[in-house]
Chain A
């Protein structure tokens, strides 16, 4: 379970303090696929970064699987993230000079846990994301959709319980986006991973079980398919 309480994040620039997240409270059950939607600058990506331990909150508490990551040092957070959280970015963030296989295996290499057995798992992941024939190709020579497949495989290589995706289809056309979302859904169903995906695209959010509507640094509403008026809430939010 992911539990967020009283979360505040402010950024200071000179004398100006900007509060990007304002008292965010949230619970996400294990195995849920949640989409976070909201306008640009509403703080949704900042929330994802805090959930992934990439940054620390100004105030409030974040627990992932019972561990309070908001109280960890940067070093502790990094170790925790490597073991428990996979992250996918809109711009893929691959190491351009490395091959597909090297990129996917990189987190294991960085952890010093890459061995023969793990390499077998890397190969299985490459197969699962449909990049078998491209595994020796350099990352910067791949298309956007292919690069995002590599990023997904890389995010899964440590078998994390939680997968965070920040606009994973933002740079892709509809049909490539569909392939990526199906891939995420298949992994989600197979491994029962918790997925939290930030998106501005309702067609991507449709893959999720629950949608968090985010505005001005806080949660405006959490809607699930069981809510009778969820489509009306969405329409109002998107107006």
Chain B
């Protein structure tokens, strides 16, 4: 999960103030936990420094509003289209997908297709590896890889389910 991209998603097509971002980011994360308010402001500072977010005026309740710059929109869209590698634990495809849904991202199908391709590559590589390990007698690593493959199977089924629901009238 990335607070940076969560904030950018929320600022994609509207202005928000810091507290609003905190509430909506908690909702976006769902069961994954809550974000510390301090983390929101330090991330916002970095986004402003990097010219991805623009600080705006103060609203009627004297709260500072923020919006996403054009360069921020481009970066967010690039991030959405990048398939998530499975050896990485920092990024999470489900989070990326919910960000895409939040902004009605036009290229969601392409995003799912690319992730599916990433999963399939992993499935093919790990299946070969696990049979080699078993033949060498490495039972423990064989079982660990079998576990990873079961997770990949669930991910693949989930992507297929999302695609099937997209094509429903």
Contacts and interface: CB of A to CB of B under 8 A. Distances in A.
Task: Answer yes or no: are A and B bound together in one complex.
Answer: yes
Interface of A: 174, 178, 182, 185-186, 189, 202-203, 206-207, 225, 230-232, 234-236, 238-239
Interface stretch (B28-36, B87-95, B118-126): B118-126
Bin chain B's interface residue count. 20 to 34
B116 A238 contact: yes
Contacts of A203: 123, 127, 149, 153
Given A206-B123, A230-B124, 13 more contacts: A174-B150, A174-B153, A202-B120, A203-B123, A206-B126, A206-B128, A207-B131, A231-B118, A231-B121, A231-B124, A235-B120, A238-B116, A239-B163
A232 B114 CA distance: 8
Contacts of A174: 150, 153
A236 B156 CA distance: 14
A232 B127 CA distance: 17
23 contacts: A174-B150, A182-B131, A185-B135, A186-B135, A189-B135, A202-B123, A203-B149, A203-B153, A206-B123, A206-B124, A206-B126, A206-B127, A207-B127, A207-B131, A231-B120, A231-B121, A232-B117, A234-B120, A234-B124, A235-B116, A238-B116, A238-B120, A239-B113
Interface in B30-88: none
A236 to B, nearest CB: 8
Interface of B: 113-114, 116-118, 120-121, 123-124, 126-128, 131, 134-135, 146, 149-150, 153, 156, 163
Contacts of B118: 231
A178 B116 CA distance: 22
A196 B114 CA distance: 29
A235 to B, nearest CB: 4
A239 B126 CA distance: 22
A181 B72 CA distance: 48
Contacts of B131: 182, 185, 207
Those 4 A-B pairs whose CB atoms lie nearest each other, nearest first? A206-B127, A231-B121, A235-B117, A235-B116
B110 to A, nearest CB: 11
Contacts of A207: 127, 131
Contact of B146 (A178, A225, A238): A178
Contacts of B163: 239
Q: Which of A186, A206, A238 gathers the greatest number of chain B CB atoms within 10 Å?
A: A206
Nearest to B123: A206
Given A206-B123, A206-B124, A225-B124, A182 B134 contact: yes
Contacts of A236: 113
Contacts of B120: 202, 231, 234-235, 238
A203 B149 CA distance: 8
B48 to A, nearest CB: 38
A146 to B, nearest CB: 20
A185 B129 CA distance: 13
B135 to A, nearest CB: 6
B146 A235 contact: no
A176 to B, nearest CB: 13
Contacts of A239: 113, 116, 163
Contacts of A230: 121, 124
Contacts of B156: 202
A239 B160 CA distance: 8
B160 to A, nearest CB: 8
A207 B120 CA distance: 13
A178 B163 CA distance: 27
A234 B156 CA distance: 12
A74 B111 CA distance: 52
Nearest to A175: B146
Q: Which of A178, A230, A238 has most chain B Cβ within 10 Å?
A: A238
